[in-house]
Amino acid sequence: RGEPSTASQPAMPSVLVLAPTRELIQQIASDVAHLAISIGRRFVPCFGGVGKVPQLKQLDKGCDILLSTPGRLKDFMHGDSKKGTTPAAD
């Protein structure tokens, strides 16, 4: 895709980075921020231990690079049966 992601194309990342822990996602996000800004791309870090709503709102604004832990990605894709939530993504 030649153009950066926008709200008209929410949550359609062309890059997915998976890391096993929230702390590692935060470290990666710190480094990705410099690159993403310089090339005009949006990135969204997603991980557990914090509310899903703010992360979903960021995804709704568009996402070129998604940084996520496997658990949070699974929650967004399939929902969380333990908590009775539905998938956030189609």
User: Is residue 54 predicted with pLDDT exceeding 60?
Assistant: yes
- For 7-26, what is the mean pLDDT? 89
Higher pLDDT, 3 or 55: 55
Per-residue pLDDT at 88: 63
The model's pTM is 0.81
DSSP per-residue string spanning the chain: --SPP-TTSTT--SEEEE-SSHHHHHHHHHHHHHHHHHHT--EEEE-SSS-HHHHHHHHHT--SEEEE-HHHHHHHHH--TTTTPPPS--
